[in-house]
Amino acid sequence: MAQPSARASCGRTSSGRAGHWYGGGDVRGALASRGVSLVAAAACLVLLAGGCGEAQRDAKEPKGAYPVEVVRASFPHKQAVARDTRMELVVRNSGFKTMPNVAVTLDSFYYTSTYPHLAANKRPIWIVNTGPGAIAKPPVETEEIDPPGGGQTAYVNTWALGPLAAGHRARFVWLVTPVKSGRHTVQYTVAAGLDRKAVAQLANGSRPAGKLTAQIATAPPRTHVNPDTGQIAAGPNSVSPGEVGAVP
**Portion of the chain with pLDDT greater than 90, in percent:** 50
Q: Is the pLDDT of residue 248 over 70?
A: no
Is pLDDT larger for residue 151 or for residue 7? 151
- 95 vs 86: CA distance, rounded Å: 28
Torsion of CA 227, 84, 144, 169, to 10 degrees: 120
- 29 vs 174: CA distance, rounded Å: 58
Give pLDDT, residue 1.
42
Give pLDDT, residue 219.
78
Angle at 194 between CA 136 and CA 150, to 5 degrees: 10
Q: pTM (2 decimals)? A: 0.67
Mean pLDDT of 226-242: 73
Q: Is the pLDDT of residue 87 over 90?
A: yes
